[in-house]
């Protein structure tokens, strides 16, 4: 990890993708993202809890013909409610009410590499991860939810993206990427 603070990466962010959860476990990551959003960055809250080995959180080819067309990427709070993700939708709505250009996305795959791929595909310049994924437990390692996995994926890209770790106290540290 870099010994440099993440201030430069955070200050220049235009699009932030933050790794969050519905249950509030990662609210410190969400709060850090919203603080950056108050400075003018667009924020996409990426719900790690929606990933499942058994179902896709979004309509697929087996849904009714028009169902998939009614959802955008990223998702608004109203779209999240339609998808049955009301607790997550409330987080996005609260951020928007606070003046942040906030949106949501439902992870369809486990792992921080899927998060980085999503962020890269959307032109994000900053990814926020919880610092505790730097020393993951067995469950996180099995699901690929690690900082090292995110950094590896971010460094494989020619796109300029910074991976910033957010500690429970809200402090940030640059894990990888541009400065």
pLDDT 10s digits, 27-41: 999 999 999 999 999
Q: What is the pLDDT of residue 6?
A: 66
pTM for the full predicted model:
0.86
* pLDDT on residue 41: 97
Q: Is the model's pLDDT at 70 over the cut of 90?
A: no
Give long-range contacts, CB 8 A cutoff, 24+ apart: 51-57.
Answer: 51/107, 51/108, 51/109, 51/110, 51/111, 51/114, 51/143, 53/110, 56/108, 57/83, 57/85, 57/106, 57/107, 57/108
């Amino acid at each position: 990890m870099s010994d440099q603070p993440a201030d430069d990466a955070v200050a220049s962010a235009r699009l932030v993708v933050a790794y969050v959860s519905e249950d509030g476990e990662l609210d410190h990551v969400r709060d850090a993202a919203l603080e950056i959003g108050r400075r003018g960055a667009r924020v996409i809250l990426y719900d790690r809890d929606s990933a499942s080995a058994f179902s896709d959180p979004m309509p697929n080819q087996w849904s009714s013909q028009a169902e998939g067309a009614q959802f955008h990427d990223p998702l608004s709070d109203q779209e999240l409610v339609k998808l049955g993700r009301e607790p997550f939708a409330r987080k996005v709505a609260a951020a928007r009410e606070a003046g942040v250009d906030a949106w949501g996305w439902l992870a369809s795959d486990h792992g921080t590499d899927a998060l980085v791929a999503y962020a890269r595909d959307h032109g994000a310049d900053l990814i926020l991860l919880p610092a505790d994924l730097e020393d993951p437990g067995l469950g996180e390692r099995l699901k690929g939810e690690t900082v090292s996995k995110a950094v590896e994926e971010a460094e494989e890209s020619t796109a300029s993206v910074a991976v910033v770790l957010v500690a429970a106290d809200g402090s940030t540290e640059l894990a990888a990427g541009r400065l």
